[in-house]
Structure 1
Amino acid sequence: MTETQTKYPVIRSGGVDGMLVSFGDRLSEPANRAALAFRAAVEAESWDGLEETSSTLVSCFLRFDPLHLSHRSLRAKLETLLNARDWYAATLPEGRRFWRVPTVYGTELAPQLAQAAEAAGMREAEAITSLSEARVRVQTLGFAPGQPYLGTLPEAWDIPRQSQLTERVPEGALVVAIRQFVLFAVSAPTGWQHVGQTAITLFQPEADEPVLLRPGDEVQFTATDAESLENMRRDPRGGAICEAIR
Structure 2
Amino acid sequence: MFWAGVDGVLLRFALTPESGAMTATQLLAADLEHRTPSGTVEIAPGLVSVLLRFDPARTQRDVLAKEMLARARQIMQGPLDIPDSARRWTIPVAFGDADGPQLSEVAQAVGCSPDAAIRQICETELRVLVIGFAPGQPYIGLLPEAWDLPRQSELTPTVPAGAVVVAVRQIVMFGAASATGWRQVGRSAFRSFRPERDTPMPLRAGDAIRFARVSVSEIEALEQKADGLGGAQLEVLR
- Do the structures match in fold with TM over 0.5? yes
Match of residue 53 from structure 2: 63
| Cα distance, 1:55 vs structure 2 | 0.3
CA contact (8 A) 1:138 1:217 kept: yes
Counterpart Cα distance in 1 of 2:229 and 2:19: 28
Counterpart Cα distance in 1 of 2:28 and 2:101: 39
| Cα distance, 1:68 vs structure 2 | 2.0
| Cα distance, 1:117 vs structure 2 | 1.3
| Cα distance, 1:93 vs structure 2 | 5.1
Counterpart Cα distance in 2 of 1:136 and 1:94: 12
Match of residue 66 from structure 2: 76
| Cα distance, 1:26 vs structure 2 | 1.6
| 1:118 paired to 2:108 | yes
Aligned in 2, Cα 1:21/1:198: closer, same or farther, shift over 3 Å?
Answer: same
Match of residue 24 from structure 1: 14
| 1:220 paired to 2:188 | no
Aligned partner (choices 77, 93, 99) of residue 89 of structure 2: 99
Q: How does 1:162-201 map to 2 (within 5 A)?
A: 162-201=152-191
Q: CA RMSD in A?
A: 1.9
Match of residue 233 from structure 2: 241
Aligned in 2, Cα 1:244/1:29: closer, same or farther, shift over 3 Å?
Answer: farther
Counterpart Cα distance in 2 of 1:187 and 1:179: 22
Gaps of 5+ in 1: 1-10
* Percentage identity across paired residues of the two chains: 39
| Cα distance, 1:191 vs structure 2 | 0.9
| Cα distance, 1:87 vs structure 2 | 6.8
Q: Which amino acid aligns with 1:241?
A: Q
Q: SS of the residue aligned with 1:27?
A: coil
| Cα distance, 1:92 vs structure 2 | 4.4
Q: How many residues align?
A: 236
Q: SS of the residue aligned with 1:130?
A: helix
| Cα distance, 1:73 vs structure 2 | 1.6
Match of residue 198 from structure 2: 208
Aligned in 2, Cα 1:91/1:165: closer, same or farther, shift over 3 Å?
Answer: same
| 1:133 paired to 2:123 | yes
CA contact (8 A) 2:131 2:205 kept: yes
Deviation sequence 1:17-54 (CA, Å, 0-9, x none): 11011122221222212212211222333333211110
Q: Which amino acid aligns with 2:8?
A: G
CA contact (8 A) 1:185 1:201 kept: yes
Match of residue 147 from structure 2: 157
CA contact (8 A) 1:31 1:88 kept: no
Match of residue 8 from structure 1: none
| Cα distance, 1:156 vs structure 2 | 1.9
Q: SS of the residue aligned with 1:101?
A: strand
